[in-house]
Amino acid sequence: MKHGWLDKTAKRTDLEEFDLRKARRELRNVLKQILNDEIPTVEELSILFSAQGREIYLLGQVADIIRERQVGSIITYVVNRNINFTNICSNNCLFCAYSVPLGSKEGYFDISIESIRKKIEQTYPYHITEVCVQGGIHPAVDFDSYLEILQNLKEIDPTLHIHAFSPQEITHAANSIKEDVEDVLLEFKKHGLGSIPGTAAEILDDNIRKVICPHKLSSAEWIHIIELSHQLGIPTTATILFGHIENSQHWVRHLSILRMIQEKTHGFTEFIPLPFIAENTQLKQNHSFHELSSLDYIKFYAVSRLFLGDLFKNIQTSWVKLGFPMAQITLTAGCNDFGGTLFEENITRSAGGLFGQLATPEKIQRSIHQLQRTSCERGTLYNLLC
């Protein structure tokens, strides 16, 4: 068995006892219970998030042990391509540096079959199994446009898994034809929608949403669309945007909501914590916020495994937001999935992200092997392809 943080020659119980003494008593007790396979309560989740300094290394160590127990040592990745079909958006979220208003010179919108085909051909010689399609909330994009995207993709390659349209986009599609969200989801599913990105969740707290994304759907609406999708047999991912104006109590509530949904539906495929990239955003200009450290990142991914791992087997790191070295560290602190190759990444790059648009499968595999772990390509729904 391999544990990234552990001396493999030490007996596990000795090591746990030794290391646990580094933590405050209340944190130590929670970690002991977790090592005995107990699930932390919401109060204990707050204690986990209160870890500081060296305690965070300990969280990483315990999360690595729990990850090994829950999913083994394989690190998965998906060979996929992003298609961001428009950057025109009327929502003006303060954390977003990607969108531009209608009429802007930098605005683009293209859902033609030629353009989509070209984007897919750009991925050759790699064989993508998934396309991830998202765009801004363009006033002229309506239900028919979303349908056209699905139809074009299916015509180009009927085997592709279409992972598309955030709950915000689903709402926009439904509003455009004054139909129920349920009917829209069913129609999209009929036309090939395979799963939905659980983006637009940001922080599931309406007071925070009023500040960072006042025009977006509410927390209750996000939860409703996600639960409905799961009930209709459309899996989704789960996300959080962390490290801006929120505090750890918002993290506790957000993770508790995700856990509650998953207990009910089992429709989430993975949890993807997304650190906020501030550089070119209005949020950075207009609000003060506490910038997170590398240790805070480790803490967030580790706690995600410790609190959610029994129900969310897959905790995904984000090489786009963190860069490869930091992503590797999170993979030794609870994560088991590297994410996707992407081929095109505009959203984080617009906000000042420095870590590129494409991670080739070879580069991802090398990073995984450097951790002395096994790499395995997967499909969107975690079917192993290796």
CB of 128 to ligand SF4, least distance (A): 23
- Asked if 248 is part of the footprint of ligand SF4 (rule: CB under 6 A), the reply reads no
Question: x/- site string to ligand SF4, residues 197 to 216, per CB under 6 A?
Answer: ----------------x---
The answer to whether the CB of 230 falls within 8 A of the CB of 184 is: no
CB of 39 to ligand SF4, least distance (A): 32
Of 62, 63, 93, 351, the one binding ligand SF4 by CB under 6 A:
93
CB of 135 to ligand SF4, least distance (A): 7
Of 33, 92, 282, 346, the one binding ligand SF4 by CB under 6 A:
92
CB of 228 to ligand SF4, least distance (A): 20
Of 31, 34, 89, 306, the one binding ligand SF4 by CB under 6 A:
89
Of 29, 46, 91, 175, the one binding ligand SF4 by CB under 6 A:
91
- Asked if 137 is part of the footprint of ligand SF4 (rule: CB under 6 A), the reply reads yes
Angle (CA) 344 349 354, round 5°: 105
- Asked if 346 is part of the footprint of ligand SF4 (rule: CB under 6 A), the reply reads no
CB of 110 to ligand SF4, least distance (A): 16
CB of 276 to ligand SF4, least distance (A): 12
Question: Looking at beta carbons, which pairs linking 100-104 to residues 24 or more positions away fall under 8 Å?
Answer: 102/138, 102/139, 102/140
CB of 59 to ligand SF4, least distance (A): 30
Of 145 and 365, nearer to ligand SF4 (C-beta) is 145
Of 93 and 174, nearer to ligand SF4 (C-beta) is 93
CB of 207 to ligand SF4, least distance (A): 18
Question: x/- site string to ligand SF4, residues 142 to 181, per CB under 6 A?
Answer: --------------------------x-------------
Cα separations in angstroms, 385 against 235, 263, 340, 370 = 19, 28, 14, 21
Q: How many Å apart are CA 384 and CA 75, to the nearest integer?
A: 11
- Asked if 241 is part of the footprint of ligand SF4 (rule: CB under 6 A), the reply reads no
- Asked if 99 is part of the footprint of ligand SF4 (rule: CB under 6 A), the reply reads yes
Of 100 and 185, nearer to ligand SF4 (C-beta) is 100
Span interacting with ligand SF4, options 94-102, 119-127, 142-150, 362-370, rule CB under 6 A: 94-102
* Phi then psi dihedrals of residue 331, to 5 deg: -75, -10
CB within 8 A of 55, min separation 6: which ones? 22, 23, 24, 27
* Peptide bond just before 125 cis, omega within 30 deg: yes
CB of 18 to ligand SF4, least distance (A): 45
Span interacting with ligand SF4, options 89-97, 156-164, 255-263, 304-312, rule CB under 6 A: 89-97
Interaction site with ligand SF4 (CB under 6 A): 89, 91-93, 96, 98-99, 136-137, 168, 213
